[in-house]
Each structure stands twice: as C-alpha cells, then as structure tokens.
Chains A and B, each alone.
Chain A
Amino acid sequence: MPESAVEVSENPLARMLRELAVPVVSVMLALGIGSLVMLVAGYDPLAAFAAMFKGAFGGGRQIGETLLRATPLMFTGLAVAYGFRAGLFNIGAEGQLFLGGLSAAWLGLVLAGLPQPFNIIMMLVAGAAIGAAWAFVPALLKAKVGAHEVITTMMFTYIGKYIVSWLVTGPLRAPGQIPQTVQLPAESTLPRMHEVFGFLAVSRVHFGFVVAVVLALFIWWVLKYTTLGYESRAVGYNPWASETGGISVSATTIKALCISGALAGLAGVTEVMGVHHRLFDQFSAGFGFTGIAVALLAKNNPIGVIVAAILFGALSAGSGTMQLEAEVPAKVIFIIQALIIFLVAAEQLARWIIGRTRRVRVEHAG
C-alpha cells in the first residue's frame, strides 16, 4: 500500500527513486551549507569531508565504528519514526534510553549467574519494558488530557537524567574516582561482531547492530501487515475517522508511545551492553535527538531508518578524524543534522530543486 504516490501507472522502481530524491538532495544540500559554515569559520571543507570519509569508511575497523555508532541511532530512529507514524512526537527518547541503559547496568550484575543467552534476552526485554514504562505517563497524559508529548517527554528526559545521575553517583556507584557503575561481567555483555562472525575485520561493532536491523524489519512488518500498525497509522493521519471506525484513539496513542519508548530503551540497553559495559554519568551523546533527524530523513520508514542511521553513524565516526586531522570542531555535525531536518521537512524546497513532480488529480467523475 503506497504511502504517497497518486500515480499508480508508473513502475515501482521509478516511484522509489522519486521517494529517495528528496532525502538525497536534502543531505547534499545540508552538506553544502555545512561546507559554507566551515568556510566562513575559516576551515577547509574539502579537507574536513575527506577526513570524515576516511574516518567513516577508510577500512574494516572504520566501517565497524560507523556501524557501531549507527546502532543506537537505529533504535532511537525507529522509536521516533514509529511515534511519528502514530501522530506522536517522542522527543524524550533520550530519557527513555537512559533508563534502558540503567536497567542493563544493574540487571547485568544481578543476572550474571544465568546462562547465556537467557540473561541477555532478559536484559533486552527489561530495557524495552523500562523504556515503555518511562513513556507511559506522558502517553497517558496525552491520551486523557491532551498534554503535548513534546513537553512531557522532554520533562521526563530531565527527570530521568537526574535519577540516573543520582544512582550512578550514589547507590550503584562502583568504587573509585569516576562516577560510574560496576563493570558488567563478560556474560552480560553483547559480543563484538567479529567474535561472532570470524570473517569480519576487527572493530568495536557489536551484536546489537544485528538486533537493530532485525527490529527495523520487524517494525516495518508491524506497520504494514498488522492491525496494530494499521490502527497506529490511522490514528496518526486522522483520529476522528479512526474513531468512527471503532478504533480507540487513546488506547492506540498509549500503545504507540510506549512502543516508541521501548525502542528507545533498547538503544540504551545495547549501548551499555555492547560498548561501555557500564553506565557512567554522560554516556549518551544525544542519541535521542539525533534519532529525530534519522527518523525524518528516513521519512519515518523503518527500512529507511537503517540507511539514515548508518549515514549519521558515518558522520559521527568521521567527526573524530575530522577534528583530529582537519581541526574542524566535531560539533559541526549537529549543524549538519539540523540542516538535514529542515531540508527534509521543507519538502517543497527540495522538490523545487529536483523539478516539479507530477501530481495528477483523478478527474472528477460520477
């Protein structure tokens, strides 16, 4: 079932290319404007992008790093995308992922005795559950009182950050100078990909990447083929018609925001279980917010999220090298991110650049 095409006589490949045009042009434009910003600030954009590319794709280890950084973005991107499809803006993915990470940091210790993979599965489930729980109050308030989820989930992000901060500096603190939790035992961590698949180059990317891709495919399937997905999309487009069709808007809203929260929670879980193996005070580099850019770039399509997340992962992986070699502050990728959001959202601008798209209205008849 097509999401945007009115034309049906054109073949699917042409349609897909047209769908891709806007995001591709938006990214190129964003990179272009980013270059201008760098030029004005006195940096060499060509050197910057060359360094970035090297850092992101220069070798097996670099590609692994890109995929590593893409992994949490896939989860948060899915979280935000799913929310958007249901008409909800989950800006609080950041807070939900904090709590997910927290649960992993704690459960990983508590469940250490259990055999693999049970403890891993339990940790993943628990992280998703706690992410969902953290989205529940905002979901309830939205459904019952109409409180805007942007404000409530943002508040919960700060509340979540403070809770985690307290636990990490207090009850769950590991002995030592740095405020962080106790390191997880190896059984409670996600293995690195090259440990599972021997033919891969050595890098930091972990099994969470596979989980993320599988989950993206699953969410795609849910949206397209299940009644849950149908109801979420119906409510996202038109809650009144959905009501007429017997759909409970409040139940669907709550479910959708909680699912979104669960996905974000998994971002935190896999980050802790796969990368750091512990929780420290500032472990998230804004994955929740980057997830918004990922979702928008992917036009809220779960498969697109995979690609968009890898792109942003590349930006992130390359930014370190860019800072080191071209001496451009890594923060510039935030600017590029914001530009991408703008340009994708302002579809008209991109379309004008591509050229007028054909939109034929079906002739009045009957």
Chain B
Amino acid sequence: MLADIISPDLFASAIRMATPIALAAIGGTICERAGVVNIALEGMMLFGAFMGVIGAMFTGSAWIGVLTAVVAGAALALVHAFASITLRTDQVVSGTAINILALGLTGFLMEVIFGHPGTTDPVTRLGPVFDFSGPQEGMFATAWRWFDVAVMSYTPLVYVAILLAIASHWALFNTRWGLRLRALGEHPRAADTVGINVIRGRYSAVIASGALAGMAGANLTLEQTGSFTEGMTNARGFIALAANIFGRWTPGGSYGASLLFGFADALQIKMQLLREIIKVPSQFFLMIPYVLTVVVLAGVVGRAVAPAAIGKPYEKG
C-alpha cells in the first residue's frame, strides 16, 4: 500500500499537477515584479483552457489549440492592463471583473457553440514528448522505470514550465530585461527618469502573465483532461498567487512553491486509496490544497517582501 503511494508516479503526478499552477505563478511573478497586481490569473487560465479546446477542435491540432489559449489569455490580460495602467482602476477590482467576465464568457460561448452547459466534447491532446522503451528486465529495469516515469514521461508544456522557470529566473537577475522589469515594480518614477518606458514595460509584463496563464489553461484541457468543464480551474489561479508570494516573487521560487501545491494535489488523489482504511470522506482530501494555501500564507507572508511600488498606478509628473 505504501509502495503505491511513495512511487515515481507520485512524483510525476506532483510535477504534472504543479504545471498549470507554476505557469500561472511565473506569469504572476513577472506581472507583479513590474508593479501590477494580477488577481485575474484564474480568469485568464479559465478562458485559455476553453479557447484551447476551441482552437484544437476547429483545426484538429492540439498545438494550434495551445496557441489559441495563449492568445486568449493575453487578450484578457490586455483588458486588465488597459484598465489598470491607462485608466488607473483599482487593480484588484479590475482583476475580479476579469474573473467574472471569464466565467460568463466561457459559459456563454459553451452554450452558443456546443449548445449545452457543463463539459465540452473531448479533443485531441498533446501526448508525452518522449517515448523510449528501456530495459524491461535485469538490474537496470527498476532504475529505468523510475527515471522514465519521473523525468521522461511528461507532455510538452510540463517541460516548458520547468525550462521557463529556470530561464526567467536567471534572466530576472542577469539581463537588462530583468533589471528594468524589477525597477518598474520597485520605483517606477526612478525608472522613468532614466528613460525607461514604464507604461510599455508594464503592459508587456501584464500581457505576458496573461499568455502564461492561458498556457496554464491549455495544459489543463489539452494535456490533462482533453475537454473543458465550466469552472474547471477551481481557484488554481489564486493558489498560483500564493505560490508567487511563497516563492518570494521569483520564478524559481514560484515553481518550487507550485511543486508543493502540486504535491498536495497528487497526494490528495493517492490518499483516496487510503479511504478503504481511514474512513474519511473524499471532500476532506479535496480540501487539502486550499488548506495548505492558507497555512503557507500564514507562515510566510509577513516575511516576504513584495516589490515596493506594487498595486500603485503610475502617474507621470
């Protein structure tokens, strides 16, 4: 029984479950480092998930679906950017409006396109990237199985998330892009006075976060489930926000924190097996990621410092 739980499958499952959270969280990091709060990761993820299915359905290609999802997320992000940066609306309110809009849009379009609420028809998914067969017997068989499952069994966006975490983390602290991005969130007026275009920089950061959240949505529908169900994101966008905070506004930290939540998710599924032994209702397992988020926030937030100028609209002069 224990062996079923502690296995490379658990690890792989954790990485898979972490992926959408991580993609959104990294998007959140980029956006917040530039000084804009993005509560709407949830809505962008949901809309991306839905549009990914649409894209895949109408073209037969899952990759086009991914592209559609990314564009959809970016489009909603553009609205958020316009409201927050140009109109200087309260960023949390704007983000919430987008979340409601996404719920409404996906539900509405679901009825319009599919004729019924609930779940769409399945579409083609993205399969695992690698497909090697290794030794089946002998000394190396177990080692190979572990390696295969834990490292080689994932779909493309999972690898994208990992690579993105590494690359963007390094870039944030070592490139011109990273330095300027951090300046935007720390002291936009200082950045302005040395000639950095604050508005453009913030717009791109917000749109990038939307693109990543859309990609996260694509991971949900085009890699995990194969179809879209209303409300399927289930607050993952909010958990991504917590992951960013826990990760101290760094992409690497965001990924690591997402892994924690992914692990909770994976564990929750595995523990359903234990229900034979411990008669605990399934809802209690389902609660785990949310309780974990609260615990994480309780333990860490006071000590994690957000970018100094976050949430404050920038006014010239």
Direct A–B contact present (CB less than 8 angstroms): yes
Nearest-CB residue, chain A, relative to B240: A151
B100 within 8 A of A: yes
State whether A159 touches B104 (Cβ < 8 A).
no
A117 within 8 A of B: no
A169 to B105, CA, bound (A): 31
State whether B108 touches A341 (Cβ < 8 A).
no
Binds B, one of A107-115, A191-199, A288-296, A355-363: A288-296
* B40–chain A nearest beta-carbon distance, Å: 11
Could you say which interface size class chain A belongs to?
35 or more
A294 to B290, CA, bound (A): 27
Tell me the B275-317 residues at the A interface (CB within 8 Å).
281, 283-284, 286-287, 290-291, 293-294, 297-298, 301-302
Could you say which interface size class chain B belongs to?
35 or more
A61 to B161, CA, bound (A): 55
A158 to B89, CA, bound (A): 28
B149 within 8 A of A: no
A146 within 8 A of B: yes
Which chain B residues lie closer than 8 Å to A162 at the CB level? 283-284, 286-287, 290
Produce 1/0 per residue, A283-304, CB < 8 A to B. 0001001001100100000000
State whether A337 touches B100 (Cβ < 8 A).
yes
Produce 1/0 per residue, A111-150, CB < 8 A to B. 0000000000000000000000000011001001111101
State whether B101 touches A155 (Cβ < 8 A).
no
Tell me the A1-52 residues at the B interface (CB within 8 Å).
37, 41-42
Which chain A residues lie closer than 8 Å to B89 at the CB level? 342, 345-347
Which chain B residues lie closer than 8 Å to A337 at the CB level? 100, 104
Binds A, one of B11-19, B91-99, B139-147, B221-229: B91-99
B103 within 8 A of A: yes
Nearest-CB residue, chain B, relative to A84: B93
* A338–chain B nearest beta-carbon distance, Å: 3
State whether B104 touches A335 (Cβ < 8 A).
yes
* A327–chain B nearest beta-carbon distance, Å: 10
| 9 residue pairs, one from A and one from B, having the closest CB atoms | A334-B104, A338-B101, A331-B107, A329-B111, A341-B97, A166-B283, A162-B283, A335-B104, A331-B108
Interface residues of B (CB under 8 A from A): 39, 79, 83, 87-90, 92-94, 96-98, 100-101, 103-105, 107-112, 117, 234-235, 238-239, 241-242, 245, 281, 283-284, 286-287, 290-291, 293-294, 297-298, 301-302
